[in-house]
A and B are shown apart, each in its own frame.
Chain A
Amino acid sequence: VSKSIAWDVAETLERLGGDEMLLREVLQIFLDGTPTRVATLRQAVTEQKAEALEKAAHSLKGELGYLGISVLSQQARDLEEMGHNRDLPKAASVLAEFENGISAVLNQMHALQEKKEKLDARAKSAGAGQ
């Protein structure tokens, strides 16, 4: 993962007002929703459906922008615009790049989620042992 694509957890947490609980919920929502949206993007590009591309890319642009993953957000924005302008020839190459980036980010998020869950479990068993 190149550094510019990586997700800055601390920055997102700060943006959310330092609410750890909310961060987890937001993360879960993103992890739940993103694979479907990426699949929609892929299908839209394959089937040359500009409107579907615009819509899915719009949602991804917004969420990635909020999470501060600006490179991917920008790519999603490019895809959205291609969909809007019904101009899909370059969409496939942008999408390929986007898919690489997003899978790296999703992996990073999953890893973080697992780490937090382990920490929670440890804190819980430590609490129970007292």
Chain B
Amino acid sequence: MNVSEWSPAQCLESEQPRNSCQRVLIAEDDAMFRKILQSWLQGWSYQVTVAEDGTKAWEILQQERPPELLILDWVMPGVDGTELCRRIRERQRGPYQYILLVTAKDDKQDVVRGLEAGADDYLTKPFDRSELRARLRVGRRILTLQDDLIQAREELRFQATHDVLTGIWNRGALLDLLQRELQRASRTQASTGVLMLDLDHFKNINDTHGHLTGDVVLKEVASRISRVVRSYDLVGRYGGRSF
């Protein structure tokens, strides 16, 4: 097997499941090109969905988990390639979709308009097999990068608001949340319950058994508190041994 190729197995084996990297939508009204694209892509282990016009393609894109690599023909009855691009880019939510626009060789102006409408790349007809394959790899690389970025951002977001040791809210987040709860309570004239818990003689544990054991105790305390409170209560670490 060609090492530079991704196979479904490799996708599943990678650290993060990247099922998205191989789902492709082909929107093409010409039966011949649809057949060629479908046949090649399936041969390269992509999961292929086909649409014979832009309207159908748009319907498919409304599904729960739509394909993330899109090959759109520029000229199609109903909704054409650029209009599709525009609609896709207008949606703010959901993962990024990589769009490869297919145009006829002589439509240079189309290329510019297509890219401006939100396409990531384009392919000219009659398209070349190895060129298509390479461009799809580029698309997959971008999508993978995007996945990594989102994951990194989520991790950072978590780290910024959570205590590294115990995984519960950190002091900053806790004070923000407390502020919000107090304001909400004052608006509805309700009372707010706040518990401040401090571990007595915690220094003894550190001194006798070492800091690592102290960490274990802190983690255990955090986990026990989290277990006993209601799901909508907020638990955080206020300071060294205060919760």
Contacts and interface: CB of A to CB of B under 8 A. Distances in A.
B148 interface: no
A62 B73 CA distance: 12
Interface residues of B, number: 17
B106 A33 contact: no
A20 B151 CA distance: 44
B32 A66 contact: yes
B195 interface: no
B180 interface: no
B65 interface: no
B30 A62 contact: yes
Interface in B87-117: 104-106
A61 to B, nearest CB: 7
B199 to A, nearest CB: 69
Interface in A54-102: 58-59, 61-63, 65-66, 68, 77
Contacts of A15: 126, 128-129
B125 interface: yes
20 contacts: A15-B128, A16-B129, A17-B129, A19-B39, A22-B35, A25-B35, A25-B39, A26-B32, A26-B35, A29-B31, A29-B32, A29-B35, A30-B32, A33-B32, A58-B104, A62-B30, A62-B33, A62-B125, A66-B125, A68-B126
A26 B33 CA distance: 8
Interface string A24-58: 01100110010000000000000000000000001
Nearest to B39: A22
Contacts of A33: 31-32
A17 B35 contact: no
Contacts of A77: 106
A17 B129 CA distance: 7
A7 to B, nearest CB: 14
Contacts of A68: 126
Contact of B125 (A16, A26, A29, A65): A65
Nearest to B130: A17
Contacts of B128: 15
Interface of B: 30-33, 35-36, 39-40, 43, 75, 104-106, 125-126, 128-129
B207 to A, nearest CB: 73
B34 to A, nearest CB: 9
A65 B126 contact: yes
Contacts of B129: 15-17
Nearest to A63: B32
B75 A58 contact: yes
Q: Which of A16, A17, A62 has the most CB of B within 10 A?
A: A62
B68 to A, nearest CB: 25
A29 to B, nearest CB: 5
Nearest to B126: A66
Contacts of B43: 17, 19
A65 B105 CA distance: 10
| Closest CB pairs A-B (n = 6) | A66-B126, A29-B32, A65-B126, A22-B39, A29-B31, A17-B129
